[in-house]
Structure 1
Amino acid sequence: MPKKSRERYPQNCSDIAFVVKQEVNWRCSKCGLQCIRPGNDTSNLSRSERTALTLTVHHYNFVPEDNRRSNLCALCTGCHLSFHTRRKGNVSPGQLSLF
């Protein structure tokens, strides 16, 4: 039986993602959008605005087990979704939602 999508990620994936996001100063590597940093006050933002300004980490080769730094990039939600809608990836666009 194939592994479930979440099981394919390492236990320290949050730590890996945090480092990748810090390295790009919480900006999307594709469009340059300044995204929400930990500790930012987001109380004035709607849920959809917070989602749009959330920085995610994408695996270039769509293999979540491959966490070499050269395979990872930080993308805003919109750019990350565009990568997955143009090519069938390791997670469906609906799974990229944070809520």
Structure 2
Amino acid sequence: MSKTRYSKDWKQIATAVKDASNWRCTKCDRICLRPGEKPSELTLSQRRVYNLQVHHYNFDPSDNRKENLGCLCSGCHLHYHRFRRGNISPGQLSLFQLNDA
């Protein structure tokens, strides 16, 4: 039996997280492109840099708690996974929930 890593509603969850961040990377503050935006002055490879992705801070794609999800541009997301570090550590996740309350 294969285990599904992402929930069936992942696309909706990810879009809601991106909307809540106003389509900005939470690490470098880059404003990213929304679906359907294709500025003519940007090449395809440049547009990829402005791609916003939702990251699971604890690296568990089945854990979709609000405090475990954050928006990262493609460059910051790659860096976070490559070095398994970033601007938020898994130990800090509970702090976000307390501060948001």
The verdict on a shared fold, with TM-score over 0.5 as the criterion, is yes
Structure exhibiting the larger radius of gyration computed from Cα positions: 2
What SS does the aligned partner of 2:30 have? coil
| Bigger Cα displacement from structure 2, 58-67 vs 38-47 | 38-47
C-alpha separation in 1, matches of 2:23 and 2:43:
19
Matches of 2:39 and 2:11, distance apart in 1: 20
1:78 to 75, 96, 101: 75
Please, what TM-score do these two structures have when normalized by structure 2?
0.76
Aligned pairs (5 A) from 1:54-73: 54-73=51-70
CA distance in 2, matches of 1:16, 1:51: 21
The CA distance in 1 between the partners of 2:36 and 2:2, in whole Å, is 37
Query: What 5-or-longer segments of structure 1 have no aligned partner?
Result: 88-99
Q: Matched residues in 2 for 1:24 and 1:65: separation?
A: 21
5+ residue gaps in structure 2?
85-101
Identity across aligned pairs (percent)?
Answer: 51
Count of matched residue pairs: 85
State the partner residue of 1:23. 20
What is the TM-score normalised by the length of structure 1? 0.78
- Runs of 4+ in structure 1 off by over 2 angstroms are 38-44
Q: Which amino acid is 1:60 matched to?
A: Y
